[in-house]
Amino acid sequence: MNQAEAKSSASAAAGSALRPANSVGSDKQRQQKIATRCWIGLCIGALLTIVAWFLDQRISDALTTPTVRDRIYQVFALPTAISFYAIVVAILASFSNRRRLLTGFFCAVLLSGLVTHVLKFVVGRARPALGVGPESFDLFSLLGPNQSFPSGHASAAATLAVLLGLYFPTARWVFYFYALCVGLERIVNNRHFTSDVLAGFVIGASSVYLCVLLLGRHYFELRAHCPPTESKR
């Protein structure tokens, strides 16, 4: 081995020895930044909570008037409804097979929503809050009080729960329980009859499995990014 090769090997060894130390130092700095941000957020949250404690009644009175409440509902109803879908889309977009995942996801969601709202319009079942009984129908009705069957919330919850169960099978029962809670909430709040909720569950789950049959299982299987070294092999 000549002198030049000896120097290059020595410098390479020194560089490899310095890399772990540099990475450890950067990890510590990153952790310190995260800890600092957490403490700042905690202090700000605690301060806002204390201030709100003394303004609770005034804020409640201001926001619960019929006019203000209706305006807030009109502004935030749609963003609130699509927020969970947006979160799932963002998660699916992080995988290498995002195109197929998003195609399968939107096909299932749109199919479920289409079937649900067509049936709402055609059946025209009165909601429980109207007090006219479960056998009151106004066919082809565009009025919300007469669109009880099937439950849109239950249909959407079942669609998301089954989709998430396909993406993350080990946690599927957590998602199924979430859908069950949504359906129960709609019954307890007197927005739907039990059959409305069950029909929504059937529509949501059937829409997903129909898309799986038509598109294929690979449209609903997560595939992580491969590291550059593995992809080259």
The pLDDT tens digits for 124-173 are 888 888 888 778 777 887 776 778 889 999 999 999 999 999 999 999 99
Phi, psi of 137 (to 5 degrees): -130, 145
Query: How confident is the prediction for the chain on average, in pLDDT?
Result: 82
230 pLDDT exceeds 50? no
- pLDDT, mean of residues 19-43: 77
pLDDT number for residue 206 = 94
With bands split at pLDDT 50, 70 and 90, how would you rate the model's confidence at 208?
very high
Residue 185, burial from CB neighbour count under 10 angstroms (0-12, 13-18, 19+)? middle
Give mean pLDDT, residues 101-130: 92
DSSP 147-199: --SS-HHHHHHHHHHHHHHHHSGGGHHHHHHHHHHHHHHHHHTTSS-HHHHHH
Contact present, 149 and 119 (Cβ < 8 Å): yes
Q: Residue ranges per domain, the chain? A: 19-64, 69-220
Give the residue from 111, 112, 92, 110 showing the smallest Cα distance to 100: 92
Q: Which of 127, 124, 134, 138 is nearest to 190 (CA)?
A: 127
pTM above 0.75, yes or no: no
In this predicted structure, what is the pLDDT of residue 233? 43
Query: How far is residue 91 CA from its own chain's centroid?
Result: 9
Name the pLDDT band for 110 (thresholds 50, 70, 90): very high
Counting Cα atoms < 13 Å in the Cβ hemisphere of 210 gives: 15
Query: Band of the pLDDT at 182, cuts 50, 70, 90?
Result: very high
The number of beta carbons lying within 10 Å of the beta carbon of residue 202 is 14
